Amino acid sequence: MTHENIVYDRRRALLEHAARIGNVSEACRVFGVSRNSYYKRLASASEYGLSALLPKERRSPHQPNAMSPEEVSTILAEAVARPTLGAGALLRHLAERGVHRSASGVAKVLARHGLGRRAQRVAALASLTAAGDGQITDAAMAGPFGFCLFASAPGQVVSLDAFYVGRLKGVGAVWQLTAVDIATRWAVVKLVVGDKNTDATRAFVDDLRRVLARMGHRLQGVLTDNGPEFAGKAFRDHIAALGIEHHRIPPRSPNHNAVCERFHGTVLQEFYRPHFHRGRVDSIALLDRSLQTWVTDYNRHRPNRGAYMRGRTPAQARAELTRRMRNTAS
């Protein structure tokens, strides 16, 4: 999608949305434009047709090192598709599409086209697709990301938590059960509709054991908070029967489960908010499919820039630890 198409689609969507809801002020608020701009676009379209909504061509000075229109279009399209990522985080996605530019160069392009701030990119995505009908659900995240239990091998300690996705129309309350391996930051997630009870968490532990077994690891311990889905007798008896050690953080201390808390912040910003801005979600199966695709990218390709990971992906951290364990054993 070219920059001209993005601008044209936004302007046309603004006029159509205002006509549909019959409220110019509300439409302008949703699209982040002034009423004056709206009436200018409306007058131009009424007099000259919808082609008047296309941006006017401007003569640019000669710049030998300037980006090509194709590069700019790719940068804008990626920024709108991934609105919560900054210029630096966009670089690897741009490289996959053949655009190799510096973070400062990408940031200048975004700023020049009114997409320099996260809120602007989110508004652009929302206005292009949902036109105010997108579902935005916030998850509760509290506490600094401080202490977390140390682990030196995959599967030694896996942090578990439940994340409230939101109440989706036609679906009901949706929870995400999350498991993050502390040694590698490898994540496993599962969506649950309704109540996040001990039946759901016990089944999730069984799924987690199978995932780790396929990777050649054994689930040895879990770290949880004191929610009933993890502190209940049925859950405790289940993992005890499996020989899994249960570590529980102190009450009202979410920062002690920092690995999951940090992951929840990431999945909220990089997956859920952009996904719900794209349109209404009424199928848990489709939502789960998109989520699993994002988690696969997170595990295998997305660099984790925390102090512990130092820019490695979970897959790289797992490979390093596995290689180190083999060398030690030999």
Per-residue pLDDT tens digits of the chain, which is 330 residues long = 566 777 778 888 888 888 888 898 888 888 888 888 889 888 888 877 777 777 776 655 556 667 877 788 788 888 888 888 889 999 998 998 889 999 999 999 898 888 888 877 776 665 554 333 332 223 222 222 233 345 778 999 999 999 999 888 878 889 999 999 999 999 999 999 988 899 999 999 999 999 999 999 999 999 998 889 998 999 999 999 999 999 887 766 666 678 898 899 999 999 998 888 877 777 899 999 999 999 999 999 999 887 678 889 999 999 998 888 887 776
Residue 147 in domain: no
Residue 317 in domain: yes
Are 88 and 171 within one domain?
Answer: no
Residue 62 in domain: no
Are 249 and 305 within one domain?
Answer: yes
Residue 151 in domain: no
Residue 88 in domain: yes
Task: Tokens for 149, please give them.
Answer: 């239990």
Task: Tokens for 165, please give them.
Answer: 């996705």
Distance CA 196, CA 328 (A): 41
Give the domain CATH number at 282.
Answer: 3.30.420.10
Are 194 and 308 within one domain?
Answer: yes
Residue 187 in domain: yes
Residue 116 in domain: yes
pLDDT at site 9: 80
Give residue for tokens 């975004």.
110
pLDDT at site 255: 63
Are 114 and 195 within one domain?
Answer: no
Instruction: Examine the fold and report which residue of 87, 112, 129 is the final residue of a domain before the chain moves on.
Output: 129
Are 198 and 106 within one domain?
Answer: no
How many independent structural domains does the chain possess? 2
Instruction: Examine the fold and report which residue of 129, 147, 176 is the final residue of a domain before the chain moves on.
Output: 129
Task: Give residue 125's domain range.
Answer: 3-56+67-129
Residue 153 in domain: no
Instruction: Examine the fold and report which residue of 79, 114, 129 is the final residue of a domain before the chain moves on.
Output: 129
Are 20 and 114 within one domain?
Answer: yes
